[in-house]
Structure 1
Amino acid sequence: MSGASGAEAPAPPAAPSQARIAARAVGRSVAASARSLGAHAATVGHAVARFAAPVTGVVSTTGWLVLAAAAVSLVIAWAFGWIEFAFLGFTLLAAVLVSIGFVFGRMHYRVGIELQPARVVAGERALGRLLVTNAGTSASTPSRLELPVGAGLAEFVVPSLPPEGEHEELFAVPTNRRAVIVAGPAVSVRGDQLGLLRRTVRWTDPVELFVHPVTARLRPSAAGLVRDLEGEVTKTITNNDISFHALRAYEPGDALRNVHWRTSARTGQLMVRQYEETRRSQLILVQPTDRDQYASDDEFELAVSVLASLGVQVIRDATRLAVVTESLALRTATPTALLDDTSRIEPTRRAFPSVRDFVREATKRLPPPSVVITVAGSLLPVADLRTVETVFGPDTEIIAFRAELGAASRITRIAGSTVVTVGDLSELPRLVRRVRP
């Protein structure tokens, strides 16, 4: 009876029955089989889709809608016995069948696209030329060519051409704003008038037209904007340069050409020369492209024009230059290369938390600059522009150009920074002449 007063020990868990184990095994087997069948079905489906692509690819979106409407109409007619829906379904199917005849046929063309000129300044006129030649041995049938030009689409009707016959079309390219306009590819289209079926053949590659920003002509050397630091002595000590500094004791690894033999003979110890490092000017142009920092699209274009004007003149002065924006680094080998890349600059959305973070990230792999020029919009506070000073050392001059469309152009000096407000591009040469780093 004494054991009755204590708690009973819990019974051990019952071992799973053989039926439950078998059910789990069957379930796992079924799941694995289902996955295998699904993967096989997907593979077969992709193969069928690739095989049928030449046919299904001809059917346009309108064609698929017509086929779906025909199927729904026939199902309703069969389910409810409504003859009207049967008539509608067969009519839609007949329209698709009739359109099949319009996609047959083969064309043998040579198509060329020319843009004259290939580079223009925003506002200048540019023309395009489309030349179609029948490369076949028999006369071609009339066809239609589509040519995307920028955001638009030009359509041309090519008449019947004899062998080696040519057809020329001229078109104007809108160049009122800075951009890279892509013309092409030229595509021939065969299909019915309702647009149910559409077969296209691509004949050319895209051709680019560079619409450069409007720039201002600056004086050579930008009238002191870039300090000529070539040969300027710094406080950095190096083993290879032209400005002699001192002698020191030889250390393993030093070049023998730097040994000063006369002093070594007098002291009885090898002595080598040390030099003060000299450097050449390095200029960095940076432009934050956050859309929220510009009051309007025209103000953004003014900033790009300022950037391009400064960059082109620095390249002409043979000064080492790097140009970066929040979305790309621009080529600076020639003025044309720089202008081509400025045509690609687009506004961005919060690519970096601050201007300082952008400048630090964009310039960390570049040589130490002597001058850093920031080109920004009017909505960026001057205090944010001044934070760029903390990225570089005291030997680096910081200049900020603020594009403020319609404002009075002026130069303001705040502590160690120079802030240039540009209200109109025509004022830029005068402002640059007054800037003295």
Structure 2
Amino acid sequence: MSPTNEPSSRRTSQTGYALRSVRRALVGGLGNARRLLGQLAARLWTFIRPVIDVVGPAGWLALGGAALALILGGALGWMELSFIGVTLVAAFVIAVAFVFGRSSFAVLIELNPHRVVAGQRALGRMLVRNTAERNALPVRMELPVGDGLAEFLIPSLPPGGEQEELFAVPTERRAVIVAGPAVSVRGDQLGLLRRAVRWTEPVELFVHPVTTRLASSAAGLVRDLEGEVTKTITDNDISFHALRAYQPGDALRNVHWRTTARTGQLMVRQFEETRRTQLTVVHTTERDHYADEEEFELAISVTASLALQVIRDGTRLNVVTEERPLRTSTPTTLLDDSSRLLGVEGAYPSLRDFARDTTKRLSPPSVAMIVAGSTLPLAELRSVTTLFGLDTMTIAFRVECGASSRVGAVSGITVLTVGTLDDLPKLLRRVHR
């Protein structure tokens, strides 16, 4: 390149650098402006949202109708439309007066009892106390209870005054019923404006499934299996099997000193493993496996009855479902989790996939129980038995409401058909015999 072109190239390079600097400054400025506008919009929304939330669907409809009527009335010269618009605006302005007023309450929600069996009676109490230093204006309290809504009109209360309201809780079916939160509502009779203030947190009522008392743990199966000697050889148990030469790492407490002294070589004891009972209940909540809702609830009652008796006897227990394993530390925690069970759809391709996935991290069971509905094919029940060892006893409970309760055997698996919950103790006694 000739020397005469060098100044021109330098000027071109400087111009490009300046343009890039300006572009970067503009991009940075636009980014800062966007962030500033976003922060301003967030603060503005935080300020106006409580005001907008007061307007109900009827209020927005009234405002929209008023605007449309006034515009059309002015454009077309129709006094009737203008009158309708003015009337809607007046109704909205009058409704504003109903939402003013400040209250200070202490609200207590109590359920008695907190846990019931399906069908038993449960009552609730709401106590409202005025904590302000002046009289409280009348207010309407709303209390969601399950799928319903209880409404109470609280009269004007003097400072420190209290108002008690009682309500019944529907407990016909197993569920976890949430009462609350209690909300005070101010607004007009047309529902244009509505200002709600929350005073309490939700309270849960556990409606436990109906259960039946069983005569013995797992119909005597657990007690019969407990302590049974197996063919597995172990270094730590109570059933003596044989002696073998000492190996590094063996516990010194297992050394047989008399034989060691006689042979001159360290000898240790070996034992036959004694069976320790581990019971696993595989409960499917797949809706397709049950004929109707009544059958689904009966299956939960069967599982809860079996698990309760096993827990009372102190036997190790696992109960698995598609959604979560049930807690089995105490009868109360088991029943609470049973109250939360809901039906699922398409959680696993098959019952075997469900059982394999939920039990693969559990200890091998000595007794496996499968609880399912009447629409589940027997072939799927048989397929689950291959997941457990040969020493595992597998029992299937096939729930079919109204059917004749009976005990049968299908390809090495014992199948109990349960028609009613009252038949469960008799069926288990027959299996034990």
Length-normalised TM-score, structure 2: 0.88
Among 69, 74, 77, the alignment partner of 1:73 is: 69
Question: Given the alignment, which residue of 364, 386, 392 partners 1:390?
Answer: 386
Q: Percent identity?
A: 64
2:104 to 108, 114, 123: 108
**Which stretch has the larger CA shift, 35-44 or 317-326?**
35-44
Work out whether residues 295 and 373 of structure 2, in 8 Å CA contact, stay in contact via their aligned partners in 1: yes
Residue 84 of structure 2: aligned partner: 88
| 1:122 counterpart residue number | 118
Corresponding residue number in structure 1 for 2:10: none
Q: Which residue matches 1:212?
A: 208
Structure 2: which 5+ runs fail to align?
1-17
Structure-1 residue corresponding to 2:11? none
Residue 164 of structure 1, aligned match among 147, 160, 164: 160
Counterpart for residue 286 of structure 2: 290
Partners in 2 of 1:72 and 1:430 — Cα distance? Answer: 74
Match of 1:264 in 2: 260
Q: Tell me the equivalent position of 2:220.
A: 224
1:51 aligns with 2:47: yes
Deviations 1:212-232 (A, max 9, x none): 111122102343243443332
SS of equivalent residue, structure 1 residue 391: coil
On the 8 A contact 2:382/2:411 being kept in 1, the answer is: no
Q: What aligned pairs does 1:22-421 form with structure 2 within 5 A after superposition? A: 40-77=36-73, 79-80=75-76, 82-421=78-417
Could you tell me whether the CA contact under 8 Å between 1:228 and 1:280 is conserved in 2?
A: no
- Deviation, 1:431, is 1.0
Higher helix residue share: 2
Describe the superposition over 1:161-182 as per-residue Cα deviations: whole angstroms up to 9, x where unpaired: 1222221111111111111111
Q: Deviation per CA, 1:189-216, whole angstroms, max 9, x where unpaired? A: 1111121221111111111111111112
Residues 371 and 397, structure 2, Cα contact 8 Å, conserved in 1: yes
Tell me whether 121-130 or 83-92 shows the greater mean CA deviation: 83-92
Gap runs ≥5 in structure 1: 1-21
Cα-to-partner distance string for 1:317-349 (whole Å, 9 max, x where unaligned): 221111121122112122222122111111110
What amino acid sits opposite 1:196 in the alignment? L
- Alpha-carbon distance between aligned partners in 2 of 1:328 and 1:339, rounded to the nearest angstrom: 14
Query: Using a 3 Å threshold, how does the CA distance of structure 1 residues 43 and 237 change in structure 2: closer, same or farther?
Result: farther
Are the aligned partners of 1:228 and 1:281 in contact in 2 as well (CA < 8 Å)?
no
Task: Describe the superposition over 1:219-276 as per-residue Cα deviations: whole angstroms up to 9, x where unpaired.
Answer: 0234324344333222333332222333333333333333333433444433333332
Could you list the structure 1 runs, at least 4 aligned residues long, displaced by more than 6 angstroms after superposition.
22-36
Separation in 2 of the partners of 1:205 and 1:279?
49
Query: Residue type matched to 2:110 in 1?
Result: E
Q: 1:331 to 1:271 in 2, by over 3 A?
A: same
Q: 2:418 aligns with which of 402, 417, 422?
A: 422
Q: TM-score normalised to the size of structure 1? A: 0.88
1:146 CA drift (Å): 0.2
2-structure distance, mates of 1:263, 1:52: 90
Quote the RMSD (CA, aligned, Å). 2.7
Contact 2:255 2:268 in 1 (8 A): yes
